[in-house]
Homo-oligomer: A and B are copies of this chain.
Amino acid sequence: MSIFYAVGVGSGNPLEITLQAKQILEQVDVIVIPVTQEQASSIAFAIAEQVADMRNAEKLKIVFPMRKHINYKNYLKSGILLPITERLAMGKNIAMITLGDVSVYSTANYVRQVISEQGYHTQVIAGISSFSSGVAKAQLSLCENQENLLILPAVNSPEVIKNALLQADNIIIMKAGNALAWLLPMLKELNLFDKTIMFYHLNMPDEYIGVPVIEKQSYFTILFIKKKGLC
């Protein structure tokens, strides 16, 4: 019985990979490497490669374009997963690597759903999410006592984000890069700027963890707002 594994490999530090993820990456017949363009390299693969021996597995690069305004699940049913399902039908075990945690805004989770709907066995291997990795490095807690934690992406309207900032005790804003032009003034207006820490290119050579700055625009920019203060 072949299995499709969606494997989270953590957020840039190879040592963040779990024992289970390493074990599975070293056992499967095929590694699916998601890329955004045909010629692009994969950060997730570069990370995993440092700690998992995947030499004997077939590497299957598949282009998953980042597209905000399409129905992604329908798109995945258009045939681009055939290289995966053909190999599953041949009895091969397959692992698709993904940055962070599979359950948090990941393409791998959609892929797993579509493959499962076609009758194949699937499994999810949890990974350390980017926000968990970031707050650990900054030695901050995400939530304490009775506090709540709200996680949402900046691909929401300013009104939605403002409401989140007003209501929750701790807020993680993912994919904040493109929204910094209005997000940073909003944080100042709500007197939350001093209670915000920015994570940019976490665990990469140009990593930045500190006061939010407008220049650090990236798909991987995360803001963490902690209302009781950054301590």
Which residues on A are within 8 Å of B, measured CB to CB? 10, 13-20, 22-23, 51, 72, 101-106, 109-110, 112-113, 116, 122-129, 132-133, 135-137, 139-153, 155-156, 164, 167-168, 231
* A143 in contact with B151 (CB, 8 Å): yes
* A141 in contact with B18 (CB, 8 Å): no
- Out of B10, B101, B147, B152, name the residue touching A18 (CB < 8 Å): B10
Interface of A is mostly: mixed
Q: How far apart are the CA atoms of A116 and B231 in the complex, in Å?
A: 11
* A103 in contact with B146 (CB, 8 Å): no
Q: How far apart are the CA atoms of A17 and B104 in the complex, in Å?
A: 19
Contacts of A148 in B (CB 8 A): 150-152, 156, 164
Contacts of A168 in B (CB 8 A): 150
Q: How far apart are the CA atoms of A132 and B142 in the complex, in Å?
A: 14
Contacts of A147 in B (CB 8 A): 152
Query: What is the CB-to-nearest-CB distance from A101 to chain B, in angstroms, rounded to a whole number?
Result: 6
* A123 in contact with B143 (CB, 8 Å): no
Contacts of A146 in B (CB 8 A): 152-153, 155-156
Query: What is the CB-to-nearest-CB distance from A203 to chain B, in angstroms, rounded to a whole number?
Result: 11
Q: How far apart are the CA atoms of A18 and B132 in the complex, in Å?
A: 13
Closest to A101 in B: B132
Contacts of A137 in B (CB 8 A): 124
Query: What is the CB-to-nearest-CB distance from A197 to chain B, in angstroms, rounded to a whole number?
Result: 13
Given contacts A103-B136, A103-B143, A148-B156, 9 further A-B contacts (CB under 8 A): A15-B20, A16-B18, A18-B18, A101-B142, A104-B141, A104-B143, A104-B149, A116-B139, A143-B151
Contacts of A156 in B (CB 8 A): 146, 148
Contacts of A127 in B (CB 8 A): 128
Closest to A144 in B: B105
Closest to A150 in B: B150
Closest to A108 in B: B141
Q: How far apart are the CA atoms of A74 and B149 in the complex, in Å?
A: 24
Q: How far apart are the CA atoms of A143 and B104 in the complex, in Å?
A: 5
- Out of B72, B112, B140, name the residue touching A139 (CB < 8 Å): B112
Contacts of A106 in B (CB 8 A): 141
* B17 in contact with A140 (CB, 8 Å): no
Sample of 11 A–B contacts (CB below 8 Å): A18-B19, A102-B136, A103-B132, A104-B143, A105-B143, A126-B128, A126-B132, A145-B153, A147-B152, A150-B150, A150-B168
